[in-house]
Amino acid sequence: MYLQHLELKQFRNYHHQEITFQAPKTILVGDNAQGKSNLLEAILLMATLRSHRVSRDRDLVQHEMPMAEIIAQVAKDHAPLELSLRLRQTSKRTLAINGVTQTKQTDFLGQINAVLFSCLDLDLVRGSPETRRNWLDLVLVQLEPVCLSLLQQYAKILKQRNALLKSIKANLAKPEPSSPADHLTPDLTQLALWDAQIVTVGTRIMRRRCRLLQRLTPLAQKWHNAISGGTETLTIQYQPKFPFTHDDPPELVQQRFLDTLHQKKHLEYYQGTSLVGPHRDEVILTINQTPAKEYGSQGQQRTLVLALKLAELELLELVLGQPPLLLLDDVLAELDLHRQDQLLGAIANRVQTVITTTHLGVFDAQWLDSANILRVENGRIIG
């Protein structure tokens, strides 16, 4: 897969811009706030249908414009492919492949694959569990597009179940003349229906995430070993609210999920929210048996994130049979020479890479010679 051409219309600070990717490596250079990250965001959106920075489409549409459009031309399996994504201020997105509107997002996913590495990724180590869950889900969606609809279904179920738990909480707080069990009966009957749904869809997500980590971990360990010089041992574990392993059958995981819901029901009524499920799970990163966020220097944490990203790249390539696009947002300057070399060695000329930077000085001459350098200025690409 090779991204040949990108057209941005009223996307973020780009009014109308066309970019041709002439070499496997593109360097976008420009001052702060000119639109470098916006361009990478547009590419990532085509791969994952999600932005890594915002959740609402209206933030992506240029201020005071009704609609944005991203059009990508890709060479895939020797056939040209045109993908278009329209984002609107107030209504839904439209997706098209070769001019044909796609009703299912899952059909659009997988046409472009990309791995992004930005300074935000340092939050993978330091940030909240949600950051690590989102990262895992972004990889999942690219490997198995069906996961996008699972995640969307789950979000809906969770919202409804939480609304019901909130009303149970409020009802419990009200003084009731009749027995409390009576006035909760309709709510509890409805809750049982939501329980069945959260367990079914939640289990599918949890098992997929767990399987993904199972495949990602040895690759991340290999890269981590290479970059840290073999002095540190990385472990990665999926930590759900109840124990299961990647090879447990789904019925068993579902039963444990349901049992845990029953155990926690009073706490859920009391808190008015769902306490078990993939939205509460954690990915535990440890180095030499110490939680990574407490371990070592910022540099060591960066090594870990770099290892995770290279593992992500390698896994996508293994599964898809071709390397994904690599988007490096302002991270080269943050890495020391040894880590830069590791990264550049891993990319070689195989992986189409788009890199942003404020200074070309961070690149060695060999890189600059082989890359197409584009200057970004106030939402425009100038030569």
Q: Which stretch binds Mg ion (CB under 5 A): 28-36, 170-178, 263-271, 306-314?
A: 28-36
Q: Is 33 in the site for ligand ATP (CB under 6 A)?
A: yes
Q: Which stretch binds ligand ATP (CB under 6 A): 54-62, 101-109, 124-132, 186-194?
A: 54-62
Rounded to whole angstroms, the Cα distance separating 368 from 75 reads 25
Query: Which residues in the 4-23 window bind ligand ATP by CB under 6 A?
Result: 12-13
CA distances to 45, 53, 81, 117, 125 from 48, rounded to whole Å, are: 5, 13, 17, 14, 22
358 binds, among ligand ATP, Mg ion, none (CB under 5 to 8 A by kind): ligand ATP
- Residue 100 pairs in a beta bridge with 97
Residue from 25, 36, 208, 224 that binds ligand ATP (CB under 6 A)?
A: 36
Q: Is 38 in the site for ligand ATP (CB under 6 A)?
A: yes
Q: How far is the CB of 54 from Mg ion (least distance, A)?
A: 14
Note whether 55 and 5 are within 8 A (CB): no
Residue from 26, 37, 111, 352 that binds Mg ion (CB under 5 A)?
A: 37
Tokens, residue 129: 């569990």
Long-range CB pairs of 144-151, under 8 A, 24+ apart, other chains included:
144/208, 145/105, 145/106, 145/107, 145/109, 145/110, 146/106, 147/205, 147/208, 148/49, 148/105, 148/106, 148/109, 149/105, 149/106, 150/201, 150/204, 150/205, 150/208, 151/205
DSSP-derived 3-state class of residue 93: coil
Site string for ligand ATP, 325-354 (x = CB under 6 A): -----x------------------------
Note whether 195 and 265 are within 8 A (CB): no
Rounded to whole angstroms, the Cα distance separating 20 from 23 reads 9
Nearer Cβ to Mg ion, position 200 or 358? 358
DSSP 61: B
Q: How far is the CB of 329 from Mg ion (least distance, A)?
A: 6
38 binds, among Mg ion, ligand ATP, none (CB under 5 to 8 A by kind): ligand ATP
Nearer Cβ to ligand ATP, position 28 or 141? 28
Q: Is 26 in the site for ligand ATP (CB under 6 A)?
A: no
Nearer Cβ to Mg ion, position 69 or 330? 330
Q: Is 84 in the site for Mg ion (CB under 5 A)?
A: no
Nearer Cβ to ligand ATP, position 30 or 145? 30
Q: How far is the CB of 347 from ligand ATP (least distance, A)?
A: 21
13 binds, among Mg ion, ligand ATP, none (CB under 5 to 8 A by kind): ligand ATP
Residue by residue, DSSP assigns 240-283 as -SS---TTS-HHHHHHHHHHHHHHTHHHHHHHTS--SSGGG-EE
Q: Is 224 in the site for ligand ATP (CB under 6 A)?
A: no
Query: What is the binding site for Mg ion (CB under 5 A)?
Result: 36-37
